[in-house]
Structure 1
Amino acid sequence: MSDALRETNFTFDPPADLYRGKVRDVYRRGDRLLMVASDRISSFDHVLPRAIPHKGQILNQIAAHFLHATRDICPNWLESNPDPNVAVGKACTPIPVEMVIRGYLVGHGWREYAAGRRTLCGVPMPEGMKEADAFPEPIITPATKAEEGHDEDISREDILSRGIVSPEVYAKLEEYTRRLFSRGTAMAAERGLILVDTKYEFGLLDGEVYLIDEIHTPDSSRYFYADGYAERQQRGEHQKQLSKEFVREWLMAHDFRGLEGQTMPDMPDDFVHSVTQRYTELYELITGKPFAPADTTNIEARIANNLATTSWKPA
């Protein structure tokens, strides 16, 4: 199997602060960020024990694809991709709210609905819906961005009453979220896909709202195959998904849902290989481009070499 990038430990001159997220290693120096998309994979808010070859490159390149395609809608943090696993850009002050937008009743929304609740984050949901039905129009259901553990649902009213952002900034977050989702929906339709739901993260820079992090990747979004969607709904069948849901399903089949006291199952080589294959399929279908895997002989050395002529040359 190809080597995988579990983590990086670069030192830079001038020095940079390192924050290690679930998937990305983020280096910050002044008003600039360097993000390394590792091959770590998370599910149920836990990082799985084995890294997935090429996953970081795939996510980094999907995110860049969509960030470039949405620059006319709102400014974003990305400036360059000096390596297949690396993104460099502006350091914004993150807004601690994830803007989740749902076009269809699935996942957390469906679980709440099935439990009898008809509002989510203060947003009403119509009666008489089935799992995977489309909402009359997409609904925005924000979540607080937790440092550790599970993010929590929060309503527009609570965001404003707590003073997390001003009414003017929140209005901009909703506007950008709807416009980005509309663009993502149109781009997905061109590829025979349905953008089901996704989340956007934003930050502030000099008082202006910027789109940050990744967008429309299989880690942050859910897609259905458009072909056969209506027929599957009519028959009451599960929809064919293009997301990392298959990883969650494998974990659940091995009695792991991220709950206290549960043991993370070992990931055999054949499963790790199948995850790489699925992510490659996701990349090619979502972007319409063939995937060109980068050399994985020594990924950290490759990244250092690609950064050597930039202002982020490793020390």
Structure 2
Amino acid sequence: MNKDIATPLRTRAILEKYNFSFKKSLGQNFLIDLNILHNIVSAANVQSETGVIEIGPGIGALTEQLAKKAKKVVAFEIDNRLIPVLADTLSPYNNVKVIHHDVLKANVHEVIQAEFEEQQQIMVVANLPYYVTTPILMKLLEEQLPIQGIVVMIQKEVAERIAAKPGTKDYGSLSIAAQYYATAKTVMTVPKTVFVPQPNVDSAVLQLMIREQPPVELKDETFFFETVRASFTQRRKTIYNNLLHHFGRDKKEEISLILTECQIDPSRRGETLSIEEFALLSNTLYSKLKK
């Protein structure tokens, strides 16, 4: 019987065996709490037929728990020092493949095609490094991969921003971007004490389930996201002022009329607008200003 990787003792033994030193630049924090790993796996609803993509497996603590449940796990690891470590720690599992590559530069569509069966349920499950959380999540969402969902351990503050509702201080362009592609909820908060080395902040497990259809119909997706970002340029300013700043002061009258037509009070701030209101606003702006 193999001893689980995610215990303080076994983690320390592996690190010592390979004389491994943590690279701050790679945001390496390894989990040493089995309960939390089990919660992550169950939040991702990993079954015997599930295919899993993992990002940043570290020494394989989460990978091992996924391998016990899933049909296959494909893990992207950027740090070449960890490739021999993973070959050792994951040797009992023949359903794991480690790819030595930066996921941000990888063609994930191609990897899915090569490694998983057609129509297989695929989940992305990861303990993500803090410094690249947003770019990785946005890549996974924007590329519209054939996946069912994403369950990730990320910085608590970022998880709260992604899952935020309109009218709250955390709600912003990141919330809208993520919720356009997926439904978002925070599954649990994770204290910094369950990591080696300890990070400076608490973490949270975020669950994103991919929508079959976006919640709104858009005339132009790129323009929609541009409008959303513009509306949050300066959070303390009104939607009217932020739009003027973005589209130009010479558009004063048009913007004023468009807001009236959309029944959006010009004195409101971006964080009070729902995704539906943003869709209506961007569609109207697109029709009137882009003709």
Instruction: Give the TM-score category using the shorter length.
Output: under 0.3
Structure number with higher helix proportion: 2
Structure whose residues are more often strand by fraction = 1
If asked which structure has higher relative contact order (CA below 8 Å, sep 6+), I would say: 1
TM-score by length of 1: 0.23
Q: TM-score, normalised by structure 2?
A: 0.24
**Which one has a bigger Cα radius of gyration?**
2
